[in-house]
């Protein structure tokens, strides 16, 4: 299945301070509300389970 990226680059990690949620609690790209969470190098990351868009929180 191919999804439209709405101009977002899925290979980078977006900073939540600069790119807050377009739809509260949902992925900016697909509005999906299920995420994977992890800590990497002391930074809390949120990744959309459907699309893979990442944000540092």
pLDDT in tens, the chain (57 residues): 556 777 888 889 999 999 998 888 899 988 899 999 999 889 999 999 998 999 998
Mapped onto helix, strand or coil, the DSSP state of residue 48 is: strand
Quote the pLDDT of residue 3. Answer: 62
Closest CA to 21 of 49, 40, 48, 50: 48
DSSP 50: T
**54 bridge partner residues:** 13, 47
Quote the pLDDT of residue 12. Answer: 92
Quote the pLDDT of residue 10. Answer: 86
Mapped onto helix, strand or coil, the DSSP state of residue 7 is: coil
Quote the pLDDT of residue 24. Answer: 87
């Amino acid at each position: 299945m191919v999804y439209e990226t709405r101009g977002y680059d899925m290979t980078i990690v977006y900073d939540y301070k600069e790119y807050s949620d377009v739809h509260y609690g949902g992925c900016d790209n697909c509005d999906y509300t299920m995420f994977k969470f992890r800590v990497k190098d002391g930074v809390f990351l949120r990744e959309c389970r459907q699309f893979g868009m990442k944000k540092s929180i």
